[in-house]
């Protein structure tokens, strides 16, 4: 139940960060990106399956679950960074999708990195 709530929180954060009708890059930051990834992807796709397996195997200690959570949330972040990179640069024949995250105004890792390094002129082009 908690993971479902966290996933919904991540989805909501993603939607308010990048509304479809407007581009507002001031909402994009590395901190916001990491929060979206943590709640939208990492808990649901990485921590939940392992936590469930741990409980089923009788591993229910708080410390063990906290250790697993720390590792798995970081893995989820790395996964999403790779996914964002492949969304832009991956071969659709291999990835199975045509990437449009940047065109769709998503708070992706590439945009966040670009904003951290862009000159004012480059930022204007991105906007």
**What's residue 81's pLDDT?**
98
H helices of 57-119, in order, are 62-89, 92-95, 109-117
What is the domain-level CATH number for residue 81?
A: 1.10.600.10
Instruction: Name the residue range of residue 118's domain.
Output: 2-126
**Which range is least confidently modeled, 16-25, 32-41, 51-60?**
16-25
Q: Quick one: average pLDDT of 17-44?
A: 87
| Structural domain total, the chain | 1
- What are the C-alpha distances in Å from 62 to residues 38, 65, 67, 68, 88? 20, 5, 9, 10, 39
**What's residue 42's pLDDT?**
93
**What's residue 69's pLDDT?**
96
Measured distance CA(93)–CA(116) in Å, rounded: 31
Report pLDDT digits (tens) over 78-90: 999 999 999 999 9
**What's residue 20's pLDDT?**
66
Measured distance CA(120)–CA(51) in Å, rounded: 45
């Amino acid at each position: 139940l908690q993971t479902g709530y966290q996933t919904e929180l991540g989805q909501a954060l993603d939607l308010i960060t990048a509304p479809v009708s407007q581009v507002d890059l001031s909402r994009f930051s590395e901190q916001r990106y990491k929060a979206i990834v943590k709640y939208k992807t990492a808990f649901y796709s990485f921590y939940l399956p392992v936590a469930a397996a741990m409980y089923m195997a009788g591993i229910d200690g708080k410390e063990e679950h906290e250790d697993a959570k720390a590792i798995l949330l970081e893995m989820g972040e790395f996964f999403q960074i790779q996914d964002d990179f492949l969304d832009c640069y991956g071969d659709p024949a291999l990835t199975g999708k045509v990437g449009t995250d940047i065109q769709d105004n998503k708070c992706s890792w590439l945009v966040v990195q670009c904003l951290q390094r862009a000159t004012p002129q480059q930022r204007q082009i991105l906007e």
